Amino acid sequence: MSIKTNTFMMNIMLNAFGFIRSRNNIDFKQKIYQCMFREKFIIHLTVVTGIVVLPLFFTSCGEHKEQASDLTDVEITKDTVKSETRINFDLLRVNIPSPGVLTKKISSAKIVYNKTFLLPAGKRSNYATNYQKAIGMGAFGADIGVAAAHNQSQDALAYLGEISKLATELGVNSAFDPEFSQKIISNISKPDTFQLMLDKAFDKAERNLRSNQRVATTILMIAGGWVEGLYTSIESLNANPDAGNAKDLCNEISVHCYAVDYIYQLLLAYKNNADCAKLLQEMESSKTTLMGYGKTGWDSTALPKLREIVSVLRNKITA
């Protein structure tokens, strides 16, 4: 099989990965990622492509059938980066879980909503630089998911308004236009659908940024959502240590901790960008510890240290 054919098939897989990411299927996508780096990659490629297609078929017929028209994204974007660069980006991006994964765990544990764990929506007015706006937009994306999961419509509306303003300032307002805002708010009582629509909108924003040679901004936005999702989940668990699914939540937090490596690799790839270089520096002191929790897992005895590390990181990058 030629390199050109391999690249074409990888593109098909990575397009499917984008959908899988929005479905929050972390275990499945990590197995795919690992398979792609085995020695007999070409042999596995056709099998993996088939595996990817199956979830797409079944999920298309599943629980969100009634909202299909709302989730359809007909916009076509073209990456301005080289094919190899795009593929390397996507292979890393697919392993960075959506904040919605942890939000769903928190909601299912019946953990009480605490607005103080979230960034104040009004903080957006303090964001003047591209660095602040991109990270802030990602963080607000995590927070609106938490508010919606707890059916806090007023808070969700406030975050959506600020996200829309940041999207306009970053040049990706088509992902959060008034029509979309109306549709997503109408689904606030359906947490799964709401989160899926939110993930799709952020995926569209990422594609638009990459189509305009602004990959660095995409990475900052991804990192902002990842850090905020980790922070709100750890704070929620700390306030509710006896939550029914505390063990599952710890395991999911471990998966998110391990994703620091993928974010770090993305930042390293764009370290010549001043904003990426700045975030690399901010993350340096927490990377090793987070990777350790991601590899070995953790329990309630480790919560104070993990909480301190993530709190410091979150407060630095969202200031």
Same domain, yes or no: 286 and 157? yes
> Is the same domain home to 144 and 42?
no
> Within a domain: residue 69?
no
* CA–CA dist 221, 136 (Å, integer): 7
20 phi, psi to nearest 5 deg: -65, -35
Query: In sequence order, which residues have a C-beta less than 8 Å from that of residue 55 and are 6 or more positions away?
Result: 16, 20, 23, 25, 28
Higher-confidence position of 159 and 299 = 159
- C-alpha 315/C-alpha 305 separation (Å) is 16
Domain count, the chain: 2
Give the integer Cα–Cα distance in Å for 119 and 294: 25
Kindly report, residue by residue over 93-108, the tens digit of the pLDDT.
899 999 999 998 888 8
Q: Provide, rounded to the nearest whole percent, the portion of the chain with pLDDT above 90.
A: 52
One domain for residues 204 and 175: yes
pLDDT reading at 57 higher than 70: no
Which of 124, 122, 179, 178 lies closest to 155 in space, CA to CA? 122
Domain end call among 37, 62, 87: 62
Asked if 140 and 217 sit in the same domain, the reply is: yes
Between 38 and 246, where is the model more confident?
A: 246
Query: Is 70 part of any domain?
Result: no
Average pLDDT along the chain: 79
Does any domain span residue 73?
no
For tokens 């059938």, the residue is 65
User: Looking at the domain assignment, is residue 83 inside a domain?
Assistant: yes
Q: Does pLDDT of 26 surpass 50? A: no
DSSP conformation class of 300: G
Instruction: Find the domain containing 47 and state its range.
Output: 1-62
Residues 151, 36 within the same domain: no
Query: Please, which pLDDT band fits residue 80 given cuts at 50, 70 and 90?
Result: low
Q: Same domain, yes or no, for 42 and 172? A: no
Q: Which amino acid is at 76?
A: I
pLDDT digits (tens, 9 = 90+) for 202-241: 999 998 887 767 899 999 999 999 999 999 999 999 998 8
